[in-house]
Amino acid sequence: MGLAILKRSLHIALAVPLTFSFLVTAHHHSPSAPPTKTIIAHRGASAYAPENTLPAFRLAFDMGADFIEYDVQVTKDKQLVILHDQTLERTTNVEELFPARGRIADSNKSGKKHWYIYDFTLAEIKKLDAGSWFGANFKNTTVPTFQETLDIARGRAGHLIELKAPDEYSARGVDMERLVLAQLERFNKTTSKSQTRTPIIIQSFSARSLQKIATELKSPLPLHLLTTADDKPGWLTREGLAKVKSFCIGISPHKESLTKNPDVITWAHELGLRVTPYTFTTITSQDAQPLRDQMFHFLYTFKADGVITDNPDVAVEARTKSVSLLSAPSPSSY
Ligand code: G3P
Ligand code: CA
């Protein structure tokens, strides 16, 4: 079975049409049909292309990802761009282009200079090369805007949009949540109803930010709470998950939390919460089989609803393996 056919037949589980009608499709499988599982490309297909860039997103679509995951940040002139770090120097040539713009923040105990995203305008950020750090063949790849990222996935995959550090933006007087929702509203208005294969989910480590979206801003968009490996706030207990359920449709836990306690998935499912752990990864020169087996284990033994992975092609292989196992004739039918 070709990847495209497989992708169509195992349709995305979290289809939320752009009407924002908050319609989450239910699964109706015959007992013998394989369950649907969602493949989410973390920062795009970031094992093979520079993270959070259009080439990484395009590759993720081509590899069969159902969703792209990416991180939203805000520039000095309040524009939304896609970048993981709050500083520009790891993934761009900012030090070379703007040597005098690095600074030591008051809160930075290490005394090291950083080039903070919120010190730069969108026009300045667009001058940066966000591809060469990963490979010479990606030279001159730019930091994408949120709008460019929404556009490129239109009708091709869903968006798992992470609000990065919303509490820090809030402390700086920037209302990241309103900026993101306003842009999504504009995107919704300019997207034809026929392009419904663009479901949208917002996720964050900040429960405050998600609660604001759900309660204060009254957005019907589906939300996922991200949780860290140590889960200090205790979200991954029965009581914690019940609280999460009051403002989210799912959780994106660190995969180690589920290894430590796979019951979390059962408890979440009892509440109707979906579970999409992060981050499954391997470097390209390594044998992919251990990663494929690990994702298979999380999806079909632990029964997670999806995986967030740097290697969406390997996740597709894990899902393909499930099809061949689950659709094989049982011994009694020989
Ligand atoms: O989607 C999960 C993951 O993106 C959260 O961690 O640091 O990669 O944004 P990080
Ligand atoms: Ca992220």
pLDDT in tens, 81-100: 999 999 999 999 999 999 99
| Cβ of 85 below 6 Å from ligand 1 | no
262: phi then psi, degrees, rounded to nearest 5: -65, -15
Ligand nearest, relative to CA of residue 41: 1
Cβ(40) to ligand 1 under 6 A? no
Q: Is the CB of 66 under 6 A from ligand 1?
A: no
Burial 23-58 (b: 16+ CB within 10 A, else e): ebeeeeeeeeebebbbbbbbbbbbbbbbbbbbbbbb
Residue-averaged pLDDT of the chain = 88
Q: Is the pLDDT score of 51 beyond 60?
A: yes
User: Which among 60, 57, 59 has a CA at the least distance from the CA of 71?
Assistant: 57
Q: Which ligand is nearest to the CA of 70?
A: 2
51 CB within 6 A, ligand 1: no
Q: Residue holding tokens 């069969």? A: 64
Q: What is the CA radius of gyration of the chain?
A: 20
pLDDT value, residue 203:
98
Backbone angles phi, psi at 225, to 5 degrees: -90, 125
- Count the helices and strands in the chain (H runs, E runs): 13, 9
Which pLDDT band holds residue 193 (cuts at 50, 70, 90)? Answer: low
**Per-residue model confidence as pLDDT tens digits over 243-276:** 999 999 999 999 999 999 999 999 999 999 999 9
Task: Work out which ligand 1 atom sits closest to the CA atom of 308.
Answer: 1
Question: What is the arithmetic mean of pLDDT over 109-134?
Answer: 96
Domain edges within the chain? 3-86+130-333
User: Quick one: pLDDT at residue 334?
Assistant: 33
Note the CATH number of domain 3-86+130-333.
Answer: 3.20.20.190
Q: What is the pTM of this model?
A: 0.88
